[in-house]
Amino acid sequence: MSWVRIWVHLVFSTKNRNPVLFSEEKRRLIFQHIKQNADEKKLRLDCVNGYQEHAHCLISLNKEISISKIAQLIKGESAHWVNENNLLEEKLVWQDDYYAVSVSESHLQFVREYIHKQEEHHEKKSFNEEIDEFEKKYGWSLVKGKE
C-alpha cells in the first residue's frame, strides 16, 4: 500500500483580482462550501480561507491526484455553486492561474494560522503586496514581462 503525504499551500484569486468576495458572511459560506465539497470528493483539504479577491487552501496530496486537478475541482465547482445560487452581486470567476508551494510538516501549524487569519493579515497588507512578497520569496516571476 502506498502512503503519500505532501502538503501544498494553494492560493488563487478572482478574475482580474476583482474584490467580489467583499462580504465576510458570503466568504464564510463559500469557504465552508469549498471545504464540504472537497470532503465529499475525498480531497484532503485541511483548511481554506481568504479575503475579498483570493483564497488560500492547505491541501495534502494523495498518489492519485495532481495539484492542477485539485485546483480545477475546487475553483470550478465553487464558482458554479456560487453563481447557480446567486450568492454574490457579480458573477464569481476564478483566475486561471494559481500559486502552489510545498509545506513541511514542521510548518503546518504556522500555515494554518496564516490561512485562518486572512482578515487580520489583509488589514495590514494588500493582496498585491502579498503576491510581490510571495514571488520574491520563491524566486518566481508570474506576470509576463516581470523578470
User: What is the set of domains in the chain, with CATH numbers?
Assistant: 6-138 (3.30.70.1290)
- Beta-strand ranges (E) seen in 14-98 are 44-51, 54-61
What's this model's pTM, rounded to 2 decimal places? Answer: 0.86
pLDDT exceeds cutoff 60 at 142: no
Of 144 and 76, more confident: 76
What is the percent of the chain with per-residue pLDDT over 70, rounded to a whole number? 95
CB atoms within 10 A of CB 64: 9
* Per-residue confidence (pLDDT) for residue 3, from 0 to 100: 85
pLDDT of residue 4: 84
The mean pLDDT of 101-120, rounded to a whole number, is 94
Query: How large is the average pLDDT for residues 107-124?
Result: 91
Judged against a pLDDT cut of 70, whether residue 98 lies above it is answered with yes
pLDDT in tens, 6-38: 999 999 999 999 999 999 999 999 999 999 999
For residue 140, the model assigns a pLDDT of 72
Distances (CA, A) of 100 to 61, 66, 71, 129: 12, 11, 10, 17
